[in-house]
Amino acid sequence: MTGLPDHSPSPLIAAQDLRMTYRVGRGQVLRALDGVSLSVRPGEVLGLVGESGCGKSTLGRCLLRLVQPSAGRVVFDGTDITTLPERRLRPLRQDMQMVFQDSYAALNPRRRIGDLVAEPLRVHPAPGGGRRSRADIAARLAELMDLVGLPQQALARYPHEFSGGQRQRINIARALALSPRLVVADEPVAALDVSIQAQIVNLFMDLRDQLGLTYIFVAHDLAVVRQISTRVAVMYLGAIVELGEADAVLHRPAHPYTAALIAAVPEPVVRTGDLPPPLRGDVPSPIAPPPGCRFHTRCPVVRDRCRVDPPALRTLPDGREAACHYPLVGE
Amino acid sequence: MALTVLRRLGQTLFVLVGISVLVFLVFFATPGADPTARIAGRNASPETMARVRVEYGFDRPLPVQYARMMEKLFVTRDLTSYVNRGQKVVPEILEAAPVTLSLVSGAAAIWVVLSVAMGVTAAALRGGWVDRGLMMLGLVGISIPVFWLGQVVNLVTQSRYHDSWLFSWVPGLGYVPLTEDPLGWFRALVLPWLTLAVLFVGIYSRVLRADLVAVQSEDFMRTARAKGLSPARVLLVHGLRTSMITFVSLFGLDFAQLVGGGALLTEVVFGLQGVGRLTYQALSNLDLPLIMATVMYSAVFVVIANAVVDMLYLILDPRVRDGR
Amino acid sequence: MDGDMLLAVRDLTVALPVGGRLVPIVESVSFTLGTREILGIVGESGSGKSVTSLAIMGLIDVPGARITGSVRFRGRELVGLPPRAYRALRGREIAMIFQDPMTAFTPVYTVGRQIDEQIRAHQKISRADARARTVRLLGDMGVPDPERVAGRYPHQLSGGLRQRAMIAMALSCNPALLIADEPTTALDVTVQAQILDLLRVLRRDYGSSVLLITHDMGVVAETCDRTLVLYSGLVAERGPTGALFAQPAHPYTAALLDSIPPLHGLRPARLPSIPGSPPAPAERPAGCPFGPRCTHVHAACATRPPLVACGEQHVACVLPTEGHPLPPRRVPEMSA
């Protein structure tokens, strides 16, 4: 895989130098996102991975403008949505939907599945303008249930009557109701048991093939991300440290953090011999990130330069990007 | 920590100024009502009216009037009632305050001790007959009107059985200052204390039991049991401290409003010349200077109590200390 | 055979009242744990793995719960043990660490004070001696600057430090058995690796026996000597971890391992998944509980299969006795 063809389609969504800061009292500032740039082309699945507090969920929310970034730009399908007033953003919202981790909290327990899934259809106007008719909505609901693999009877029931996996199917159906082009999924399988997790990952992949969807898939589980993603962005302390084709990043990581993350995943295979020594220490606080390379406090191959000189995200010969002075693969 | 306390003090002052402005505006600057006439009282002579107007600055702009009022209230303390001519208001409150403070503090001590004991016992024996009995008792306490209970207590101890060995020690209605006769003070107040405490024992024991039961399902309670601690230690050391949050906030508010005049009914029934009674008199006579003074007085207590509760939070919960 | 075992659990059944009737959450679970051994109990949510561990600890206090069978710890029967005797055991001879170290510590006391408390609950030693031991333990658990950490409140520590403190507290009285209930689930993956490493070191240096409860097959593979797979409150399979992962004998174990997306080797076009979801305890079928989701289901599965030997494992499945044991697992190649 050598670079990308020049006639590649323009990105569906792109972020430029996104920053998100929160005041946390006593004049301190938490940098949840510290200058993140990326773009996602139509049909791609971008996996966002990292440990808690790395900013991956915040990034997902900023991209959909569920939260307003402190600085930077988000361009969706050629339109700068960073400062678009809510009224003009609304038509675009149909094209970008979100699926959350907690399948139960996302569903109002007092309403029937049919009402919950139909809600976006009632709120947003039909493609030709005007409201959708009852018959149209009913037909769309039936279609959606088929799409996510739930029986039609499910529409008349309540959220608590379903298992976690089924509820996540309901959430997906609701996200797909308006035929979006982009779906941001924030840890959609993290709360599910392994056997159910596989069902939902397969569903995401099937839906992408059937509907030509573009995903941004936020997860902490590297194996799940590898299964579903075409490209992967690895985040650490509010910044992307490595970004590239999923196979390249996860098989031959360039950034020492990516390598450590992969090595730390316990695999369901009994290995003989000693396991590699785990990474030392904890993730530093995003309120006071270390100077220089933000990973240098834990990096196993740290050198003097890393402690003072923050590395920028740069493109390596094989096309991926990494923020490291001494990447582990080819230069 | 010191900074937190200072900031809290500043906030307290700010709130007090706000309240005083509000009260002042309500009583003295209501459009269409002449405060001069209201202060001077009904059928006041033109000379009185003129004197009041000058004294309070009612012929000058509002800020001056407010400043004058605050000066009379806090600096010169010569705010005078025109209903009871010449009666200075501030000393009157300062006289009534110890009565109310004695009444409420004693009752508070009783209700805190009893409700903690009842709440903990009920929670420890959750589901059993002791639990149900105690909570029923609490409900009864909540339902009994305090004035009725006071009257019954008086009827029993003052007239019907006053001469029996059981109640012959009960003095007549009224207050005995602590500094003059500590034993007399105690004797005069013990029945009002109990009467006032009954309602709060009911409320607080039920609240505490509910919080203690809720805390039982917390992970850290399971850890405490897994450590091999005795059930009593698990409940008292790990459960009670974390369940005291609601209790403390309720207590701060209740204590403040009672000291600020909310113990009116108890004061009336037991013939105690406290702040509640004073406020009641002021209101029924429309004695504006006295109303102004009593309202400010109770505001001070409510605000101070809130500040104290916040400080208690800091002590009770280290997470609050770190601002999380 | 159970004689020299530290812990021998036989036919443990825990029934809890659900909607007015007793429902067996865990049914006839049997296993043994030797000294210096790490046994993994693995299962999905609702499999009864946490209930099993709480039953061993005597921490099931649901009114009306019924615990039958036998739990022998150092030859002593724990089922039906009076509360006072159980208390003396808990924290001293059997200790437990929990999933979320944030909520498992009492939020209003310092971590050090809570560890001191456990030491002083079981031994007559002074406050100062207890604190000295606490600080030493924290240091042994790899806590940097243990003296300072002992004086901090739980919310002031990172997840990894909290879990190290929790383990220090559990080990404070040198227990013979440590029960770890999902000890790394709430932690990030790099911190999880540290804690699992610590558990292995403890076994080596302290000779602790560990009962590790987890849902993560990866954690089991990397940490445990032997493995017990629970499905819907019943033992599906148990045996040495190496054998069990190389050739799972129960279709559930095999399907569970298959449904984990691989981190190395080829990406499957589709993940093999198990259809449906596990039955609720009250709706557990009379036959094999995995039958309704099993690709090998046939008439013989209508009666509950007994635990039979198959290779190095014991498995609750009819396939081996019928002469059709499952084939060895295709292990994805590890990249260099």
- The pLDDT value recorded for residue C147 is 93
> What number is the average pLDDT over the span A284-292?
87
Q: What is the span of the domain harbouring residue A252? A: 13-269
- The pLDDT value recorded for residue A241 is 95
- The pLDDT value recorded for residue C324 is 85
Tell me if chain C has a CB within 8 Å of the CB of B313: no
What are the φ and ψ backbone dihedral angles of A15, each rounded to 5 degrees? Answer: -120, 140
> What number is the average pLDDT over the span B158-170?
78
- Inter-residue contact A329 to A318 (CB < 8 Å): yes
CB contact under 8 A, A226 and C267: yes
User: Higher-confidence residue: C158 or A129?
Assistant: C158
Look at residue A126 and tell me if it is in a domain. Answer: yes
Closest-approach residue (CA) in chain C for B241: C108
Query: Chain C: nearest CA to B225, how far in angstroms?
Result: 8
**Least CB–CB distance from C91: residue in B220, B226, B318:** B226
CB contact under 8 A, A269 and C220: no
CB contact under 8 A, C155 and B322: yes
CB contact under 8 A, A51 and C218: no
Given a cut of 90, whether residue B55 has pLDDT beyond it is no
Look at residue A299 and tell me if it is in a domain. Answer: no
This complex has an ipTM of 0.86
pLDDT digits (tens, 9 = 90+) for A152-193: 999 999 999 888 889 999 999 999 999 999 999 999 998 888
Q: How many residues does chain C have?
A: 336
Q: Sort out which chain A residues have CB atoms less than 8 A from C266's CB and list them.
A: none
- Round the average pLDDT of chain B to a whole number and report it: 85
Cα C4 vs. chain centroid, distance in angstroms?
Answer: 21
- The pLDDT value recorded for residue C334 is 52
Scanning chain A, the segments in alpha helix (DSSP H) are: 56-63, 86-93, 113-123, 134-148, 164-176, 194-211, 222-228, 246-251, 256-264, 304-308
Closest-approach residue (CA) in chain C for B315: C108
Look at residue A308 and tell me if it is in a domain. Answer: no
Whole-number Å distance between alpha carbons of A139 and A158: 20
Q: Sort out which chain B residues have CB atoms less than 8 A from C105's CB and list them.
A: 220, 223
Closest-approach residue (CA) in chain A for C267: A227
- The pLDDT value recorded for residue B31 is 67
CB contact under 8 A, B226 and C106: no
Whole-number Å distance between alpha carbons of A219 and A51: 9
B209, B215, B220, B225: CA torsion to nearest 10: 40
> What number is the average pLDDT over the span B133-159?
90
Whole-number Å distance between alpha carbons of A214 and A241: 23
**Least CB–CB distance from C92: residue in B228, B238, B324:** B228
Q: How many residues does chain A have?
A: 331
> What number is the average pLDDT over the span C310-322?
91
C28, C29, C34, C37: CA torsion to nearest 10: 180
For chain A, how many structural domains are there in total?
Answer: 1
- Round the average pLDDT of chain A to a whole number and report it: 89
Whole-number Å distance between alpha carbons of C29 and C286: 17
Whole-number Å distance between alpha carbons of A262 and C245: 21
Q: With both helix axes pointing from N to C terminus, report the angle between B241-257 and B288-316 in degrees, rounded to the nearest 10.
A: 170
Q: With both helix axes pointing from N to C terminus, report the angle between C189-206 and C159-170 in degrees, rounded to the nearest 10.
A: 20
List the subunits that have 3+ CB pairs under 8 angstroms with A: C
B68, B73, B77, B81: CA torsion to nearest 10: 90
Q: Please state, in angstroms and as integers, the Cα–Cα distance from residue B246 to each residue in A274, B206, B249, B253, B311, following that order.
A: 53, 11, 5, 11, 14
Smallest CA-to-CA distance from C144 within A246, B190, A280 is with A280
Tell me if chain C has a CB within 8 Å of the CB of A278: yes
- Can you give the residue ranges of every domain in chain B? 2-76, 94-321
Structure tokens at B156: 């029993």
pLDDT-based confidence at B49, cuts 50/70/90?
confident
Return the CATH superfamily for domain B94-321: MetI-like (1.10.3720.10)
CB contact under 8 A, B230 and C87: yes
The pTM (predicted TM-score) of the whole model is: 0.85
Beta bridge partners of C32: C8
Structure tokens at B178: 């602590």
Look at residue A329 and tell me if it is in a domain. Answer: no
Query: Chain C: nearest CA to A90, how far in angstroms?
Result: 35
3-state secondary structure chain B: CHHHHHHHHHHHHHHHHHHHHHHHHHHHCCCCCCHHHHHHCCCCCHHHHHHHHHHHCCCCCHHHHHHHHHHHHHHCCCCECCCCCCCEHHHHHHHHHHHHHHHHHHHHHHHHHHHHHHHHHHHHCCCCHHHHHHHHHHHHHHHCCHHHHHHHHHHHHHHHCCCCCCCCCCCCCCCCCCCCCHHHHHHHHHHHHHHHHHHHHHHHHHHHHHHHHHHHCCHHHHHHHHCCCCHHHHHHHHHHHHHHHHHHHHHHHHHHHHHHHHCHHHHHHCCCCCHHHHHHHHHHHCCHHHHHHHHHHHHHHHHHHHHHHHHHHHHHCHHHHCCC
> What number is the average pLDDT over the span C230-251?
94
Given a cut of 50, whether residue C87 has pLDDT beyond it is yes
Given a cut of 90, whether residue C46 has pLDDT beyond it is no
Tell me if chain C has a CB within 8 Å of the CB of B323: no
Closest-approach residue (CA) in chain C for B324: C155
**Least CB–CB distance from C108: residue in B225, B230, B242:** B242
Burial of B173 (0-12, 13-18, 19+ CB in 10 A): middle
Given a cut of 90, whether residue B165 has pLDDT beyond it is no
User: Higher-confidence residue: C215 or C19?
Assistant: C215
Q: Sort out which chain C residues have CB atoms less than 8 A from B324's CB and list them.
A: 155
Of all residues in chain A, what percent carry a pLDDT higher than 90?
A: 62
CB contact under 8 A, C190 and A222: no
| Neighbouring residues of C47: CB distance < 8 A, sequence distance ≥ 6 | C230, C231, C232, C233, C278
- Inter-residue contact A326 to A251 (CB < 8 Å): no
Q: Which amino acid, one-letter code, is at A192? A: L
- The pLDDT value recorded for residue B33 is 65
Look at residue A119 and tell me if it is in a domain. Answer: yes
The region that residue A204 occupies, defined by phi over 0 for left and psi between -120 and 50 for alpha, beta otherwise, is alpha
CA angle B251, B316, B121 (to 5 degrees): 65
CB contact under 8 A, B317 and C121: no
Smallest CA-to-CA distance from B235 within B125, B72, B113 is with B125
> What number is the average pLDDT over the span B123-146?
91
- Inter-residue contact C223 to C295 (CB < 8 Å): no
pLDDT digits (tens, 9 = 90+) for C268-300: 888 998 988 889 888 999 999 999 999 999 999
- Inter-residue contact C72 to C1 (CB < 8 Å): no
- Round the average pLDDT of chain C to a whole number and report it: 90
CATH number at residue A104: 3.40.50.300
Smallest CA-to-CA distance from B275 within B262, B256, B289, B288 is with B262
Given a cut of 50, whether residue A4 has pLDDT beyond it is no
pLDDT-based confidence at A6, cuts 50/70/90?
very low
Closest-approach residue (CA) in chain C for B322: C156
pLDDT digits (tens, 9 = 90+) for B215-249: 988 999 999 999 999 999 999 999 998 888 888 88
Whole-number Å distance between alpha carbons of C262 and C332: 7
Complete domains list, chain C, with CATH: 34-59+82-93+176-331 (3.40.50.300), 95-174 (no CATH)
pLDDT digits (tens, 9 = 90+) for A50-93: 988 888 989 999 999 999 999 999 999 988 999 889 888 888 88
| Neighbouring residues of B80: CB distance < 8 A, sequence distance ≥ 6 | B86, B87, B88, B89, B289
Whole-number Å distance between alpha carbons of C324 and B67: 98
CB contact under 8 A, C263 and A267: yes
Query: Chain C: nearest CA to B245, how far in angstroms?
Result: 12
**Least CB–CB distance from A279: residue in C44, C193, C270:** C193
